[in-house]
Chain A
């Protein structure tokens, strides 16, 4: 086991750090379950799905340092695949009676259905990645955006399969706070171990200086493809969990709103660390809930606030712009929380040693 880990370039610190992160995620879930009311539980469930998506986004964007605007594509594909596979036949008969490939008669248990959806969507990530990772810089970012638009167009227009722009409802609810928090915790471990592995390290090096990395023997393209595929895997899991949590999906759920929400979370927390993803997801969730409350014209200090629409979108835009401009490394910066703790401790120790040496001199 330790031999395998060192092959991957992983040390004890990475293991410990990833377990701590997973524990933090689970702890958030436990606190919510202990104190929250029903409406708040729903917010927490959405939070966990978003957290999974932010972990997925961090794997590509955080390590390779190239903006990615198309990640939600794989969430949408996985959600639709799982939805179509588990939708009760009676609902299919009215909703998508003309589904191609005989899918109108197919009904699968929810666990294998989830696996099929994740494998399918991850395979799609790999195939699109083969093309995408030929691009670099801004061309790559635009290509990811094009992917998002293309898949959205397919989901909206392939009415026989997806019901088009109309929501596909009736997917059995299979996810709850416990399963969501456990899976989010597992995804935290995946993201952190990838970041710390030798491939993650090499990819981060290429994010600092592409030519410097290539001249050090790093295969930038291959690593971007690996990260893109792994990211697609995590985002697909997020899609499946989303479908199982809400039971109703439509193409709009997997479009710009979701892209910018998760992007704001990652940028605010700090995309270079997985800890940043967690911090960003927590703060943006709290922030958007506050905005939503304000949008609903609440009564504050006896006075009724005016109703303001679009406050949430405005808030996300402001977060992205402000952080990009003023603090591009986000709140957490480029270290994981446990790395930061270790560094501070080390610095304190060396400072202490120096002072002692000075004292003994005098």
Chain B
């Protein structure tokens, strides 16, 4: 149904490597010596409090930002510094924390744009994936003629994912895909993310600061804090890591100052 990732069309596995990347804005280090990797078929989570550098990492991987030091490679081919367009054509699909749809274009046209840019070799993969198929997969068929900016928030998030999938990416990067969704919507999103992986075989990196969400979808988690990766491993291990508990529950002030989400994160940790 979604023959997009490399594994699904019988190619070899793809591998995305972030090697010792640093990035600073003025005096602020948004990323400090960060390394991580992801392979086809993996769902990797990236969590951390606001301002930890998660979005910056994703921007660097999709070449929307240049790195100061380090490298990002896809199967050994350099991605950093090549620009977001090249990255998209090389096989990185992404969404944005503050949704970046084409507001005046229809839902269908939003997907058409990405679908029509694919290079010849990628288009061959897309043979069996149609725009109709993507619309249906993300439950957007009924809304296909509406303008993107008229959609409710949850559907906009889903449309952004459908648009990224229309690139036939080897890796899909999702920046807080569940933000602003209600319980039911985010439940469904978890199902969709899993389905993307199962049916397409692409590798997925998901950012969120909601621990529950991340722990349900991901097999492997990286925890970021102040631009550094402070913990890494399967969810059960990570949530017992004292530094993670410190970041999420400790140094965070009194309980009544916490946001709802932070409270729910603390709860999720306390449950174990």
Binding site for B on A (CB under 8 A): 9, 198, 201-202, 204-205, 208-209, 211-220, 272, 334, 343, 346
Q: State the CA gap A219–B113 with chains docked (Å).
A: 11
Contact A201-B96, Cβ < 8 Å, known A211-B84, A214-B88, A216-B113 = no
Q: State the CA gap A215–B116 with chains docked (Å).
A: 13
Contact A217-B100, Cβ < 8 Å, known A201-B116, A205-B113 = no
A222 to chain B, nearest CB (A): 10
List CB contacts (< 8 Å) of B161-212 with chain A. Answer: 163-164, 166-167
Q: State the CA gap A118–B191 with chains docked (Å).
A: 57
Of B104, B118, B145, the residue contacting A208 (CB under 8 A) is B104
Of A198, A204, A208, the residue contacting B116 (CB under 8 A) is A198
Give B166's nearest chain A residue, CB to CB.
A216
A121 to chain B, nearest CB (A): 30
Q: Are A215 and B94 in contact (CB under 8 A)?
A: yes
Q: Are B85 and A201 in contact (CB under 8 A)?
A: no
Q: Are B116 and A272 in contact (CB under 8 A)?
A: no
Q: State the CA gap A276–B101 with chains docked (Å).
A: 24
Give B147's nearest chain A residue, CB to CB.
A334
Give A343's nearest chain B residue, CB to CB.
B145
Contact A346-B94, Cβ < 8 Å, known A205-B102, A214-B88, A217-B167 = no
Chain A residue numbers with a CB within 8 Å of B163 are: 216
Q: State the CA gap A9–B164 with chains docked (Å).
A: 19
Q: State the CA gap A201–B116 with chains docked (Å).
A: 10
A-B contact pairs, 14 of them (CB 8 A): A198-B116, A201-B109, A201-B113, A202-B116, A205-B110, A208-B101, A209-B102, A209-B103, A211-B64, A214-B84, A215-B64, A215-B84, A217-B88, A220-B85
10 closest Cβ pairs, A-B complex: A217-B117, A212-B100, A216-B114, A208-B102, A217-B88, A214-B84, A198-B116, A205-B102, A205-B113, A214-B85
Q: State the CA gap A157–B52 with chains docked (Å).
A: 60
B199 to chain A, nearest CB (A): 21
Chain A residue numbers with a CB within 8 Å of B247 are: none
Chain A residue numbers with a CB within 8 Å of B93 are: 215
Q: State the CA gap A202–B88 with chains docked (Å).
A: 14
Q: State the CA gap A218–B84 with chains docked (Å).
A: 9
Instruction: Assign chain B's interface to a size class.
Output: 20 to 34
Q: Are B62 and A215 in contact (CB under 8 A)?
A: yes
Binding site for A on B (CB under 8 A): 62, 64, 83-85, 87-89, 93-94, 96, 100-105, 109-110, 112-114, 116-118, 145, 163-164, 166-167
Q: State the CA gap A137–B83 with chains docked (Å).
A: 18
Q: Are B113 and A218 in contact (CB under 8 A)?
A: yes
Q: Are A9 and B112 in contact (CB under 8 A)?
A: yes
Chain B residue numbers with a CB within 8 Å of A201 are: 105, 109, 112-113, 116
Chain B residue numbers with a CB within 8 Å of A218 are: 85, 113, 117
Which of B64, B93, B114 has the largest count of A CB atoms less than 10 A from its CB? B114
Of B64, B104, B117, the residue contacting A202 (CB under 8 A) is B117
Contact A211-B167, Cβ < 8 Å, known A201-B105, A201-B116, A216-B114 = no
Chain B residue numbers with a CB within 8 Å of A214 are: 64, 83-85, 88
Give B110's nearest chain A residue, CB to CB.
A205
B112 to chain A, nearest CB (A): 6
Of B87, B101, B118, the residue contacting A209 (CB under 8 A) is B101
Known: A204-B105, A208-B102. 18 other contacts (CB 8 A): A202-B113, A205-B105, A208-B101, A208-B104, A209-B103, A211-B84, A211-B96, A211-B100, A212-B96, A214-B84, A214-B85, A214-B88, A215-B94, A216-B113, A216-B164, A217-B167, A218-B113, A219-B117
Chain B residue numbers with a CB within 8 Å of A219 are: 85, 117
Contact A217-B83, Cβ < 8 Å, known A204-B105, A209-B101, A334-B104 = no
Chain A residue numbers with a CB within 8 Å of B167 are: 216-217
Which of A201, A212, A218, A343 has the largest count of B CB atoms less than 10 A from its CB? A212
Q: State the CA gap A204–B147 with chains docked (Å).
A: 13
Give A9's nearest chain B residue, CB to CB.
B116
A255 to chain B, nearest CB (A): 33
Q: Are A216 and B88 in contact (CB under 8 A)?
A: yes
B163 to chain A, nearest CB (A): 6
Q: Are B102 and A217 in contact (CB under 8 A)?
A: no
Chain A residue numbers with a CB within 8 Å of B83 are: 214
Q: Are A215 and B104 in contact (CB under 8 A)?
A: no
Q: Are B105 and A217 in contact (CB under 8 A)?
A: no
Chain A residue numbers with a CB within 8 Å of B62 are: 215
Q: State the CA gap A343–B146 with chains docked (Å).
A: 9
Chain B residue numbers with a CB within 8 Å of A209 are: 100-103
A340 to chain B, nearest CB (A): 12
B240 to chain A, nearest CB (A): 36
Chain B residue numbers with a CB within 8 Å of A343 are: 145
A210 to chain B, nearest CB (A): 9
Q: Are A217 and B89 in contact (CB under 8 A)?
A: yes
Chain B residue numbers with a CB within 8 Å of A217 are: 85, 88-89, 114, 117-118, 167
A180 to chain B, nearest CB (A): 32
Give A208's nearest chain B residue, CB to CB.
B102
Chain A residue numbers with a CB within 8 Å of B166 are: 216
Q: State the CA gap A343–B147 with chains docked (Å).
A: 11
Chain A residue numbers with a CB within 8 Å of B105 are: 201, 204-205, 208
Give A204's nearest chain B residue, CB to CB.
B105
A355 to chain B, nearest CB (A): 17
Give A197's nearest chain B residue, CB to CB.
B116
A20 to chain B, nearest CB (A): 20
Q: State the CA gap A9–B94 with chains docked (Å).
A: 24
Chain A residue numbers with a CB within 8 Å of B64 are: 211, 214-215
Chain B residue numbers with a CB within 8 Å of A346 are: 145
Chain A residue numbers with a CB within 8 Å of B96 are: 211-212, 215
Chain B residue numbers with a CB within 8 Å of A212 are: 96, 100-102
Chain B residue numbers with a CB within 8 Å of A211 are: 64, 84, 96, 100
